[in-house]
Amino acid sequence: MVPICAGCFSMSLAYLMNTYPITSTTFIRREIHAHEAAGVPVTRFAIRDWAEVPVDPRDRDEVGKTTYILKQGAVALAARTLKEVATNPLGFLRAFKTMFHLATRPGSTGLKNVAYLVEAVFFKQAAKAQGIHHVHAHFSMNSTAVALLAHRMGGPSYSFTAHGPDEFDDPVGSGLPAKVADSTFVAAITDYARGVILDATGGDHADKVHVVRCGIDLDEFKLSPPPENARIVCVGRLCPAKAQALLVEAVAPLIADHPTLDLVFIGDGEDRAGIEARIAELGLHDHVTLAGWGTGEEVRAAIKGARVFALPSFAEGLPIVLMESLAMGRPVVTTQITGIPELVDADCGWIVPPGDVPALRDAVAQALSADTATLAAMGKEGRARVIAAHDQAQNAAQLRALFPKD
């Protein structure tokens, strides 16, 4: 697909996120940068900033480019809301009715939707002041609710990218059908996600739900041969959903056959203490490292220095880090959930049932025992798949083709 040129794209575009930037959602920053590289400027909004300082300097740079709604303060947001009621009573009433619908659905977050309405007032007014015609959100939860309510008030049209899996846990409670109905379009990152959305909406508006896959900048992730070592790398937030503790358990018996086995976790999170305890219980201090968050360059170096990449998650959409690893020629060990089988199979990795420690152990053992030529061939196949389906420039162009043009 040919990228849309700046001269052909007259619409003023904004992105609205819940929390931005976050180390675990660098794909949003990459997508925005891909639009801008094609000559389409993007105005950034987020409901809140991240409590942590981003590790990557490119993420830190995004902070200064982003308008944070909650940083305006409660008094200013309340004053803006009163002004909206006074100057746009019919639009505010439409948004209020939609908010009430969202708040009273079974399983709804209830009064949180009132906060979304107040946030939507600020965004609608800021978008009007800046001449923004369309806004795109990532994930179908908070930020999309704000975009929907702002639109009902007379604000810009909106679209959103749905990733899953958490946002699909209760589509009725989250108001997904209403968000789809009012949107210009919905981008689902996998065929699996599109199927879930169509099921949740009864097939209504199927023509506006498109598969637009996430991507990476292939120039950043160069193909390289796997090293002759026994290093395994896992990248991601340390949390129960990613099941890193099971990976620790799985590799413990393999040290007898692979005495130089080295498992490196890059990331941090609420499950760190539990993983540390499991490392101590199994006596693996010499074989497992919790490295904390790393910059993009550090993550690439870690993947390059590993023989195989592993991610034993219980719940994912389609992890970007799998694309990154495959693009660098590293076979992956991962789980057969949601959209992952759309990218990974036996030709480029090992895919096992989630939570199956013996199967995970066997897959890692096969990866460590495989000869380098076999691993290199699997890595080349993985890179070819990423080139075909997950090139950031091409996928961002696909997304722009769906945006309204004026």
What's the rounded Cα separation, in Å, for the pair 128 and 119? 14
Do residues 397 and 351 share a domain? Answer: no
**The pLDDT of residue 107:** 85
Q: Indicate the SS3 state at residue 108.
A: coil
**Per-residue tokens: 362:** 């066997």
Task: Convert the pLDDT of each residue in 75-84 to its tens digit.
Answer: 999 999 999 9
**The pLDDT of residue 106:** 87
Do residues 206 and 286 share a domain? Answer: no
Q: Indicate the SS3 state at residue 184.
A: coil
Do residues 111 and 94 share a domain? Answer: yes
pLDDT bucket at 173, cuts 50 / 70 / 90: confident
Ramachandran assignment for 326, one of left (phi > 0), alpha (psi -120 to 50 degrees), beta (any other): alpha
Task: Convert the pLDDT of each residue in 124-154 to its tens digit.
Answer: 999 999 999 999 999 999 999 999 999 999 9
The whole domain housing 151 covers 6-215+391-402
Do residues 202 and 258 share a domain? Answer: no
pLDDT bucket at 7, cuts 50 / 70 / 90: very low
Beta bridge partners of 308: 232
Give the torsion sign (CA, 288, 375, 339, 184).
Answer: positive
**The pLDDT of residue 66:** 98
Share of the chain above pLDDT 70, in %: 97
Do residues 175 and 132 share a domain? Answer: yes
Do residues 211 and 235 share a domain? Answer: no
**The pLDDT of residue 155:** 98
Do residues 114 and 207 share a domain? Answer: yes
Do residues 164 and 271 share a domain? Answer: no
Indicate whether 300 pLDDT > 90. yes
**The pLDDT of residue 109:** 80
Indicate whether 3 pLDDT > 70. no
Indicate whether 162 pLDDT > 60. yes
For residue 368, is it within any domain? yes
Do residues 119 and 239 share a domain? Answer: no
Question: Which of 292, 385, 308, 398 lies closest to 347, judged by CA?
Answer: 385
Do residues 198 and 63 share a domain? Answer: yes
**The pLDDT of residue 10:** 58
For residue 224, is it within any domain? no
Do residues 358 and 317 share a domain? Answer: yes
Taking residues 332-360, what's their average pLDDT? 98
For residues 366-384, one letter each, b for 16 or more C-beta atoms within 10 angstroms of the residue's C-beta and e for the rest, the string is: ebbebeeeebbbbbebbbe
Mean per-residue pLDDT over the chain, rounded: 95
Share of the chain above pLDDT 90, in %: 92
Do residues 184 and 61 share a domain? Answer: yes
Look at the chain and report how many structural domains it folds into.
Answer: 2
Indicate whether 377 pLDDT > 80. yes
Question: Could you tell me the CATH number of the domain that includes residue 257?
Answer: 3.40.50.2000
Which of the residue ranges 27-31, 70-74, 108-112, 276-280 would you say has the lowest mean pLDDT?
A: 108-112
